[in-house]
Chain A
Amino acid sequence: MAAQAFVLVLGGGLLSLLAIQREKEMNTFDFQRVTRLRPLELAFGKLFGAPVLMYFIVLCLMPAALVGAVVGHARPTFVVAAYVVVVLGAISIHALALLLSLLLERGVAVTGGVLFLIVLWLNPLVAAKFWLDLGSLSPFLASDLSTQMTWAVMPRPPGTTIYMSGGYGMTDVLFGWPVHHAAVVVVLYASFAAWFLLAVVRNIKRDPAGYEIFTPAQALGFLLFINLIFIGFFRWSRWSASEAQADLLGLNTSLCFVLGVALLRNRDRVRRLYARGRLSSGWLAAAWPAPYLGAGTLVVGLVPVAILQVIGKLDGEWDLGVALFRVALFSAWLLRDILYLQWMNLRRGGRLRVGLLYLAVFYICAGIVFGTLNLFGTPRGLAFTAVLMPPAVFSLRLGAWAETWDAWLVALCAQILIAGIFGSLQRRTLADLSAPGRLPIAAAGAA
């Protein structure tokens, strides 16, 4: 079983990862794009066509595995379930690999994808098992599943953390209800595969300059979906309210960030919008998608706060004001970084990658400098570091808040100010891009 999972998930993943890359490199991808194939058909063709060899190998290994199962007195239903998990898991991973293959250039896609697959393989328990009442999400759990003896779900004693610690079956807790892990995993795989496929299908026949992973509405849907999973399986009982908020806020901000990067417009798009007169010159339109994402972060940040308030398991560290402040600070922070990246991306040559690199370097350097200055140690220093590195707010104690709230407000204002600077830089770039000399078309098209 393990061997089959290995072959299908890793081998198939790699082949999918290379599928579109190779075609693009050989210049044969265009020929497939000009056929009558609908994007969905093309995507499905790639999804099952690229790893077809691996499916074949799995089929060859199957008799041996089945003999093993019979000898080992495995329950047939679990063996079937294990296959379902492997295949569905493999499909969802292949879909992700296909998406990477489509969007990234070869080196980046392969490195990222291989790293991801290795993590998946080395750590079969890979899952947010510390945060979530959820077992392993890796398809490699199939070999465990095939040896299970009972479908019964047993609520675990509250203290246990590691899910497969024997004796409790494969139980997850969804909104307080125990559910069998296999069912959860199957549903998750299917829905993630659907999301990834949606992105592939949307883009596979497009001009690479016009790739856009999701529409804003779809991005919002994806965000809500992830949140539903997280909130549903969240280990509310294990964490204090403020820790819970910190985790959820951190998660949502990073998600918004990733989606934001995906929504960023490149020069080609902006130029097209201008040329067709579809881009107004207002501030809001010019700053897109930053305001949308800032608002999104605000909303998904406020939801856990509301939940925590309703659940009412609040402790001494919990303060509604601090919680709201955190959300506000994070939204402003996201606004700032997205505006920066959008600006970088609109500059000549589309420097998104460089922008991301600068950003990473910036945070690492700032962290080192502040660390050596021991600014994280003092309440006021902490507030100061938040000007550049807002996550410092997670170390903010309630007592310190009372003393240094003014400094923290300054940090918040600083975020907004920096965001404003990047916003105006971006506006300048846009103005340059849409200048009459730059767009011979705009005038002619209007005439």
Chain B
Amino acid sequence: MFLERGNSVEAPAAILLENLSKVYDLPPGSAGAAQAVAADNLNLRIAEREVFGLVGPNGAGKTTTLKMICGLLVPTAGRIVVNGVDVERDPEAAQGGIGYLADFFSLYDDLKVWEYLDYFAHAYKMAPETIAGRITDVLRLMGLEGKRGAFIGALSRGMKQRLGIGRAIIHDPPVLVLDEPAVGLDPKGRIEFRQLVHELNGRGKTVLITSHLLHDLEEMCTSIAIIEKGRLLRSGRLEQILGEGVRERRVRIMVASPGFPLVEWLSRREGVTGVTGAAPIGAQFSFAGGPSELASLVKALVVAGASVYAVEPVGETLEKVVMGLSRGEVT
């Protein structure tokens, strides 16, 4: 169906979904259809070293897809290959290369932080002599050094979330699958988390993330897929997704002359459409011309007596793309 175009095709795939489908039964009492299609013939190729965002409204099938990738759910049909290993055929081998964080989880409250990580380090069969050092690394990475000996029950929500991420990366897997990892983090924590993702990506990890915080995703991701009702609406490089459907550039101009009739002035210019804005301070508009035409427009504006102090291009936000798509513009 919708395969990625462009530069990522030649890079080896970290995660490959082929005709992946999952059908759930709904309980007989529920209204409407007897079954929910949580994944509908998904084809997706996530190249190595990508930060890949999976976006979609509630119930789109994100969690289901992630669980299938981790071998926790059996697909109704289709195939999943992670790091070259077929998940259904050899789940343990595939799972060794995946770090998974569930959207909703709890930890063992009566374990200490380091014991928890130690337990999973053993479960992932790390070499015993490397474990202690790895735990220290992970705790530092997650900003939990101070909590090493604390009981998990005494951690705050965000700290638990960090510990969960820590558990997911303890065995240094090449692929990370994170289901809404930023939930419960404070603003600082979210920024730190984005940095963490960048850092992990810099170390060669492939990261697959779902989140409803589209702004965060926009800053982190190299590629995005948008799904709804199990169907892939669009996927590709972030720039590509954001650039698609935009033929005219959107520009914002700010002026420091309160008396200037900015909106009226702009509306009269050639190539300018859709002027909106909080006159007299600033305005946004779509501009059909190229950079030199824009430059002459700004020049004319200054000549007309406006004290221009800012001209900036306004990009399409992921939020808008998603909203546009999920209203059914593309199916």
Binding site for B on A (CB under 8 A): 26-28, 30-38, 205-207, 209-210, 267-268, 271-272, 275-276, 347-351, 438-442, 444-445
Contacts and interface: CB of A to CB of B under 8 A. Distances in A.
Contacts of A275: 21, 76-77
Contacts of B27: 349
Nearest to B71: A34
Contact of A35 (B35, B95, B102): B95
A441 B167 CA distance: 35
Contacts of A37: 92, 123, 125
Nearest to B20: A441
Nearest to B75: A272
Contact of A31 (B19, B34, B35, B120): B120
A444 B41 contact: yes
B28 A349 contact: yes
Contacts of A33: 71-72
The 10 residue pairs across chains A and B that have the minimum distance between CB atoms: A275-B77, A35-B123, A441-B21, A349-B28, A441-B77, A36-B96, A207-B74, A26-B106, A444-B41, A34-B100
9 contacts: A36-B92, A36-B96, A36-B171, A37-B123, A207-B74, A268-B25, A349-B29, A444-B21, A445-B77
Nearest to B105: A27
A401 to B, nearest CB: 46
Contacts of A268: 23, 25, 74, 76
A206 B26 CA distance: 21
Interface string B12-38: 000000010101011111000011010
Contacts of A438: 35
A39 to B, nearest CB: 8
Given A33-B71, A272-B77, A349-B28, 12 more contacts: A27-B102, A27-B105, A36-B92, A36-B123, A36-B171, A37-B92, A272-B74, A272-B75, A348-B26, A348-B34, A349-B27, A441-B19
A207 B72 contact: yes
B97 to A, nearest CB: 9
Contacts of A272: 74-77
Contact of A36 (B28, B40, B72, B125): B125
B124 interface: yes
Contacts of B95: 34-36
Contacts of B124: 35-36
Given A36-B95, A349-B28, A27 B104 contact: yes
A268 B98 CA distance: 26
Contacts of A439: 23
B41 A441 contact: yes
A153 to B, nearest CB: 47
B70 A34 contact: yes
Interface in B72-119: 72-78, 91-92, 95-96, 98, 100, 102, 104-108
